[in-house]
Amino acid sequence: MPLHGKGMLVVFCEVKARDERDFNEWYNREHIDERVNLPGFHRGRRYVAVRGSPKYLATYECDTAEDLATPGYLALLANQTPWTQAVMAKFTRFNRLTLRIQADHAHGVGGAIAAVRFAPDPHLRRSLLAWLQEVALPKAIARPGVVGAVAGENDLEIAHAPLQAKSMDHPRADEAEWVILLEGSDIGAVGAAARLTFSLAKLKPFGVTAAPTIGTYRYLFGNQR
């Protein structure tokens, strides 16, 4: 089945080793549930890196990308719980992307995911999307061990909304980055599919000038409603 909506918040972050126990408890016991119960949100999942960085990845599926910039959501970001404030103060890396899902070939829930990030030429997005929909994603999910794939485009206006609202959830988006998530039952399979499908050579026709960032992650915890 497809994702639970057409919007997705993707968060990459890290903390120091001495802070990981509290960080993981916070995520599993408070943060995922808090987000999932917001209007428009439906499912949250989190992962830990097997290969690549940042070490932790979380995804939150919502009806639309606009759910990531509603007054209620921004008010929550500006008034975090004491536990959230304490944990976020210890982040050593943090990157937040507010995606409009442009291609959804998701199928069930796998225990492994490969995350691919790159910045194409915005003028070539139409040809990029056609390639993703018709060639890249179908080929990737046809490989053994890969069960689904989605592609999303970071919406900069929505990504910057917390800054405008002066919340403590500070994005650092400065270009229209895309995120591809390949999901499967095997870590090695999703990683190999990502590296083969999204090499710099294959992305250059869409204006990508730097090698994509590729990380593989295993599933830790999730919740939905």
What is d(CA 205, CA 66) in angstroms, rounded to the nearest whole number?
30
Q: Is 193 among the domain residues?
A: yes
In a domain, 1, yes or no: no
Domain count, the chain: 1
- Output the pTM of the full model: 0.94
State the residue range of the domain holding 66: 7-224
Closest CA to 156 of 140, 139, 176, 137: 176
**What are the pLDDT digits (tens) for 13-69?**
999 999 999 999 999 999 999 999 999 999 999 999 999 999 999 999 999 999 999
pLDDT of residue 167: 45
Alpha carbon distance 163, 182 (integer Å): 30
Within a domain: residue 36? yes
| Residue 2 placed within a domain | no
User: How confident is the model at residue 193, as a pLDDT?
Assistant: 98
Which domain CATH number covers 52?
3.30.70.100
Question: What confidence score (pLDDT) does residue 163 get?
Answer: 61
Give the chain's residues under pLDDT 70: 163-174
pLDDT of the residue at 174: 61
Does residue 106 fall inside a structural domain? yes
With beta carbons less than 8 A apart as the criterion, state whether 100 and 61 touch.
no
Cα 189–Cα 195–Cα 196 angle in degrees, nearest 5:
85
